[in-house]
Amino acid sequence: AARLNPLDLYDVRSLLTDEERMVQDTVGRFVDEKVLPIIGDCFDQGRFPAELVPEIANLGLLGATIPEKYGCAGMNGVSYGLICQELERGDSGLRSFASVQSSLCMYPIYAYGNEEQKMQYLPKMAAGEIIGCFGLTEPHGGSDPANMKTHAKKDGGDWVINGAKMWITNGNLAHIAIVWAQTDDGIQGFIVPADTKGFTAQEVHKKMSLRASVTSALFLDNVRVPDAQRLPNVKGLKGPLGCLTQARYGITWGPIGAAQACLKEVLDYTQERVLFGRPLASNQAIQLKLADMARRITMAQLLSLQLGRLKDAGKMEPTQVSLAKWNNVRMAIDIARDCRDMLGGAGITVEHSAIRHALNLESVITYEGTETVHQLVVGRELTGINAF
Ligand code: TGC
Ligand code: FAD
């Protein structure tokens, strides 16, 4: 009898269009050929593989859902999700790079920028020639961005920005930063070129997670930008939160890839490793764990796909994104930790991927809204009571 695909027990792939399958296969090949051979060493060395950016751009993976008019691929939301899933099957750091560039930097320019800003930045960002970072979180508390201290003051035709941002992905790689700042008119977004006087990025070292990704602090000391650098079409916290909804949507898909990588690894390992005279996989205690992983991956796949279909129909709600981000990252981190355990001692080095994924997912469960934040968003939806 034909065996089911252990990484896709419900044949979720059959629910994809030909075009979506093609996107998945193209990114999957790239990850198999270019990412997997180097990524353990990148993590070990604390190095982001910047040499992969041109190919990621050539494949159309940056700003993939933005229309072709702006040099982008014009794909649908499900395809963007599949891109995230395949990249994170490689490493969460690589998916982070793509999430930030696409959803947190290109999306706000596309959604809140004027035509000149879109033409100036989007084609070069799609080509990977301009890299962006997104500065919302501040050192005193990321979960409550409404309480930001960074502020921008109007001075003639310019804005003068002061403040600090913390834990910023791509910070030291970026040519531009999307900086969110308090103004007399509420929170507004600014496109700040990284070479502007008074702007500095300082890389965060000693990370035990997302080691193949650049994370930085940003400092803005009387940074002066013309009004033309302000994103004119949004004011208030809903500006940055609207970007987060896009990125979080992609993050619901990414950890499915990480979990699949871990499951595949232990399926191979437990069949080959012989203990007590039989393959590890023939023990009930092992099979229960493997079966439970397949169950949780399957549920996450169906959740993200339906979320993507809602998104492409223009019906996706932020609460639905919160539920899926919470569920799918929790699913993946639990699987990665269990897989690490099933590899025994071999599971503690980067020769196997489980520990790398498990450690990466410690960031993924924290960033883009912690697990608790997302649980409280769902609780608020159910009860109508704001418990933050
Ligand atoms: P609240 O009163 O709920 O909302 C303020 C305004 O925003 C609107 N809104 C949203 N709009 C779009 N998408 C969403 N998800 C939205 N959620 C809320 C809302 O309708 C309202 O609009 P209006 O017109 O009425 O003003 O705001 P709150 O202060 O109560 O905050 C709620 C809370 C806690 C959920 C929010 O602050 C939050 O999400 N906190 C977590 C912050 C966070 O996720 N930071 C992430 C930083 S970026 C990052 O981590 C990148 S890592 C990426 C990588 O490397 O891959
Ligand atoms: P805090 O907000 O201080 O939270 C601490 C703890 O308190 C958490 O467990 C939280 O769940 C809990 N908590 C908070 N509020 C409540 C409550 N009301 N009730 C109960 N518990 C609560 N930010 C950006 O802007 N741009 C980026 O590119 C970016 N990249 C990142 C990359 C990495 C690797 C990491 C680790 C973070 C990144 N972040 C980025 C920041 C990230 O979004 C924040 O770390 C996150 O939002 C949490 O903020 P915090 O770290 O200040 O924790």
Q: What is the DSSP string of 53-81?
A: HHHHHHTT-TTTTS-GGGTS----HHHHH
Each residue of 135-191: pLDDT tens digit?
999 999 999 999 999 999 999 999 999 999 999 999 999 999 999 999 999 999 999
Active site residue 317: no
> Closest Cα partner for 125 from 87, 88, 178, 164?
178
Ligand nearest to the CA of 216: 2
ipTM above 0.85, yes or no: yes
Ligand nearest to the CA of 359: 2
Q: Quote the mean pLDDT of the chain.
A: 98
Each residue of 105-131: pLDDT tens digit?
999 999 999 999 999 999 999 999 999
CA angle 22, 327, 288 (to 5 degrees): 90
Each residue of 196-228: pLDDT tens digit?
999 999 999 999 999 999 999 999 999 999 999
Choosing from 129, 368, 371, 381, the catalytic residue is 368
Q: Which residues of 92-119 are buried (b: 16+ CB within 10 A; e: fewer)?
A: bbbbbbbbbbbbbbbbbbbbbbeeebbe
CB 121 within 8 A of CB 131: no
Query: Which residue is it, tokens 């999700």?
Result: 81
Query: pTM of this prediction?
Result: 0.98
Ramachandran class of 46: left when φ > 0, alpha when ψ lies in -120 to 50, beta otherwise:
left
- Measured from the Cα of 137, ligand 1's closest atom is 47
Q: Residue 1: what pLDDT?
A: 56
Nearest CA to ligand 1 atom 16: 241
Each residue of 270-311: pLDDT tens digit?
999 999 999 999 999 999 999 999 999 999 999 999 999 999
Q: Residue 2: what pLDDT?
A: 65
Q: Residue 114 C-alpha to ligand 1 middle, in angstroms?
A: 23
For a ligand 1 pocket test, name from 244, 246, 319 the mutation site with the most ligand atoms within 8 angstroms of its C-beta. 244
> Closest Cα partner for 229 from 137, 136, 161, 145?
161
- Mean pLDDT confidence for 235-256: 98
* Pairwise CA distance, residues 42 & 167, whole Å: 20
* Pairwise CA distance, residues 264 & 294, whole Å: 10
